[in-house]
């Protein structure tokens, strides 16, 4: 993605800001617009941009009504239609943008049912990195058979971006022996970014997306309903997710998932993930390494 395309993504993200804040964002230098990862609003504080080297403070102070206006613009003045994700603290916006929301939770019977009195918001600038997985995808096959793989990196290392492009490559058959049917358990809506049923990100023509459903429930649902050849999921974190993946593997389905870990050695030290390795569900690890400001990808065999 070149600078002009990166700036256009920023402009699209800024379009859901209230007019005063939008004008401020669009007046920033082109270099900052091109590299901005998030636009952050906190009531009573200046708006900030999250850049690769930290947060940049803008001149405009965020007022409570700014967050209300942001929510209205993000939902196209239809908060009721977005109530299910809003109660989980986020909104999916046309174009692939995701807005995280904080405020006062409305809790009933130990369950959050809504958010009110918004206090802060984070607009994630959606930038697809089309093509970054095209050298990685062929390495996940042996004798034309897909080998289940884990994507490893610390938080913020680019796991979701790589996962999305790997799904695209497998679904199109880019650099692979043949296209595959992918079932995507997109619990947080960050991979495909469904908006009214349509993926806002290119996850390929043979990908079926189950959005907003816990992975432990979504994986067996995809197995029963969509006959996938590969099931993909972002951020495996709890034992229930691992059990669902083991069940899918026993049904002959390939798996592609992300996990927070610097490398295989760190993964082995985590008891929960040690169980996953012991079950031999995954055979390959994709490591995301940062060199000279660039992300590089390396595939390793997992211990048998």
User: Going residue by residue through the chain (304 aa), what tens digit of pLDDT does each one get?
Assistant: 678 888 988 999 999 999 999 999 999 999 999 989 899 999 999 999 998 788 999 999 999 999 999 999 988 888 777 777 787 888 878 777 789 999 988 877 777 667 888 999 999 887 788 999 999 999 999 999 999 999 998 877 889 899 999 999 999 999 999 999 999 999 888 899 887 788 888 999 999 999 888 899 999 999 999 999 999 999 888 889 989 999 999 999 999 999 988 888 888 888 777 777 777 889 999 999 877 767 889 999 988 6
CA–CA separation, 83 and 253 (whole Å): 34
Question: 201, 92 in Cβ contact below 8 A?
Answer: no
Helix axes 19-26, 3-14, angle to 10 degrees: 170
Task: Count H helices and E strands in the chain, helices first.
Answer: 10, 17
pTM, entire model: 0.77
Task: Report helix, strand or coil for 99.
Answer: strand
pLDDT at 227 (0 to 100): 96
Residue whose pair of structure tokens reads 């989980």 in the numeric block: 88
Residues contacting residue 46 through CB under 8 Å, at least 6 positions apart:
57, 58, 59, 60, 61, 62
**Domains parsed from the chain with CATH numbers:** 3-124 (3.30.450), 137-301 (3.40.50.300)
Q: So what's the pLDDT on residue 82? A: 74
- Specify the pLDDT at position 293: 64
Spell out the residues 6+ positions from residue 59 whose beta carbon is closer than 8 angstroms to its own.
Answer: 24, 46
């Amino acid at each position: 993605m070149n600078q002009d395309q990166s700036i256009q993504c920023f402009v699209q993200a800024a379009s859901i800001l209230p007019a005063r804040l939008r004008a401020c964002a669009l007046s920033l230098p082109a270099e900052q617009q091109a590299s901005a990862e998030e636009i952050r609003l906190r009531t009573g504080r200046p708006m900030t941009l999250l850049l690769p080297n930290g947060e940049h403070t803008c001149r405009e102070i965020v007022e409570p009504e700014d967050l209300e206006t942001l929510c209205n613009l993000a939902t196209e003045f239809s908060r009721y239609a977005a109530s299910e994700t809003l109660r989980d603290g986020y909104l999916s916006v046309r174009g692939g943008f995701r807005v995280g929301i904080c405020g006062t939770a409305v809790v009933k019977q130990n369950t959050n049912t809504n958010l009110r009195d918004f206090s802060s918001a984070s607009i994630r600038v959606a930038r697809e990195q089309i093509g970054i997985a095209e050298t990685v995808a062929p390495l996940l096959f042996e004798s034309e058979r897909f080998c289940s793989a884990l994507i490893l990196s610390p938080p913020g290392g680019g796991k979701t971006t790589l996962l999305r492009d790997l799904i695209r490559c497998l679904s199109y058959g880019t650099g692979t022996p043949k296209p595959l049917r992918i079932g995507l358990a997109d619990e947080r809506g960050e991979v495909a970014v469904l908006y009214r049923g349509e993926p806002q990100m290119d996850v390929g023509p043979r990908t079926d997306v189950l959005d907003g459903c816990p992975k432990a429930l979504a994986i067996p649902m995809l197995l029963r309903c969509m006959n996938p050849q590969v099931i993909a999921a972002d951020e495996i974190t709890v034992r229930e997710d691992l059990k669902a993946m083991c069940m899918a593997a026993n049904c002959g389905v390939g798996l592609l998932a992300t996990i927070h870990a610097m490398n295989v050695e760190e993964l082995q030290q985590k008891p929960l993930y040690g169980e996953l390795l012991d079950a031999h569900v995954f055979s390959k690890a994709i490591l995301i390494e940062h060199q000279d400001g660039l992300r590089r990808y390396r595939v390793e065999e997992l211990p048998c």
